[in-house]
Amino acid sequence: MIRTGWHHWNRRTREGVEMALRCFEQAALLNPADPAAFSGMSSCYMVLGTFGMWPAAEVYGPFREVQERAVELRGWTPKLRGEYARFLYLFDLKFEEAERELELAIREGPETPAVYMYLAMLRTAFRRFDAALENLALAYAADPLYPTLPATEIFILFCHREFDAAVACGKRGLDLHPYLHLGRAYYAQALEFSGRVEEALAQYRLAILISPQMFWLQALQARCLANNGRKAEALEILEELERTRLSEYIDAYYMALLFNALGRRDEAIDELGRAFDENSPTLYMLDVDPKMDSLRADSRFMRLRDAVFGIAGKAKTAEARVHSGVLADISSRVTAENNT
């Protein structure tokens, strides 16, 4: 069950991760003393939250509970500490504490590429690009074929406004990992900002085809269309996203980008406020994201930015918004599925 769970997880699509979660839950029922099952669930909740598949309110509490159980059974590992640190800066906005935890995880396990990657992304958010690239180089040294490293490299170069270099990196990354939607999404953004709009739109379409339930990809596609004279097509996608939003979670950060591209600034700012209230995992990149540049002169944007990087991490926590008792829920849910 655990091996099958990791097989599904490595697809990094919503369907794959949800299938993996069910495998790990089954494994935990078969052997409640096996930390590998709880560590697997921890990784599932991390991907579901950080990739914008599920809202923070549905992943934060369950993540903390299954991770605490894994630590209770095995003790801290670099993987578990790295995931804990990632949640600290994405959902609690506790950036300094997260950096300390990541540095500790590296000392405990310097062969773990994901930990270097998380630290590289955190340092990118604070414009420490040289340090981020050094961390990324260490991640490549630990495992040059780790699937999400090219996407992270594109992210760093893109935020540093090195768009042509990001395009070159994206092409190399897709040669190695053609089925990873995240790499295609960042590659598409690099192409778009390099002026290669039709190529960018082709990559957005492919990313959506790979991961149709990652609705923020459609918002990025529509934003690209709106910014390049195709507002009617962008509006069609917006209308579909608004209908989808009635029953599915869509990260408001990306909806803000779309509204801004359509010239609807007030709605864009409202969506950013919604992203803050919903604990969007994307807010940490607010200061460096080139897609946000046209909003930076708006005082409302700056007030929200100050909340994210100023008092937010001290005053706001996702824990107050989430449900508890996930371990007790696992048994009843799995039993119901088996009966079905």
State residue 327's pLDDT score: 44
Contacts of 290 (CB under 8 A, 6+ apart): 158, 159, 161, 193
pLDDT band at 310 (very low <50, low <70, confident <90, very high): confident
Give dist(CA 278, CA 254) in Å, integer: 13
Indicate if the pLDDT at residue 256 is higher than 50. Answer: yes
Q: pLDDT tens-digit profile of 325-340?
A: 444 454 455 445 555 5
Domains and CATH numbers, the chain: 1-75+327-340 (1.25.40), 214-309 (no CATH)
Query: How high is the pLDDT of residue 314?
Result: 40
Mean pLDDT of the chain: 92
* Cα 162 from chain centroid (whole Å): 22
pLDDT at position 270 is: 97
Lowest mean pLDDT across 177-181, 203-207, 214-218, 223-227: 177-181
Mean pLDDT computed over 6-10: 96
Calpha distance 261→24 (Å, rounded): 41
Average pLDDT over residues 265-289: 96
- Percent of the chain exceeding pLDDT 90 equals 90
Say what the pLDDT of residue 312 is. 41
The residue-averaged pLDDT of 241-266 equals 97
Q: How far apart are the first and last CA of the chain?
A: 19
Mean pLDDT within 52-67? 96
How many Cβ atoms sit within 10 Å of the Cβ of residue 145?
10
Q: How is 81-130 classified by DSSP, letter by letter?
A: HHHHHHHHHHHS--HHHHHHHHHHHHHH-TT-HHHHHHHHHHHHHTT-HH
Query: With 70 as the cut, is the pLDDT of residue 322 above it?
Result: no
Q: Does the pLDDT of residue 317 top 50, yes or no?
A: no
Q: pLDDT (tens digit, 9 = 90+) per residue, 118-137?
A: 999 999 999 999 999 999 99
Residue 300 has a pLDDT of: 95
